[in-house]
Amino acid sequence: MTRGEFAKKVCWAKIIWVVSIVNPIMTLPQFFQIWQTHQTAGLSLLFLAILLFVQLGFSTHGFFTKDRFIMISNGLAGALTFLTILSTLYFRNIST
């Protein structure tokens, strides 16, 4: 079985479509929790920075390979991660 045949058999295009929607949404709970509780203890800015780097890297990859799902999904995810980083810095500075 070739790679293409296997991708068709498991409906890979549909799986990627679902992943492309979940990707930007997965940071939303953390973002909303920060704004509701104003608590940032336990959040790692290093982790968020690395996640942002990876998301922007994949978004750029999507741009160069003309893959809209990858580009838009990771671009939106990167924007939300960036807002989460800014929110974390904001609430950490307010509490000091």
pLDDT at 96: 64
pLDDT at residue 20, rounded to an integer: 86
What sign for the dihedral angle of Cα 83, 88, 93, 94? positive
Quickly state the pLDDT bin for 13 (edges 50, 70, 90). confident
Read off the tokens for 44. Answer: 């790692």
**Environment class of residue 56 by beta-carbon count within 10 Å: exposed (0-12), middle (13-18) or buried (19+)?**
middle
Sign of CA dihedral 76, 80, 83, 85: negative
Residue whose entry in the numeric block shows the structure tokens 């890297």: 57
HSE (side-chain half, CA atoms, 13 Å) at 57: 6
All domains of the chain in start order, with CATH:
3-94 (1.20.1280.290)
Q: What is the pLDDT of residues 32-88, one digit of tens each?
A: 999 999 999 989 999 999 999 999 999 999 999 999 989 999 999 999 999 999 999
Contact (CB, 8 A) for 61 and 8? no
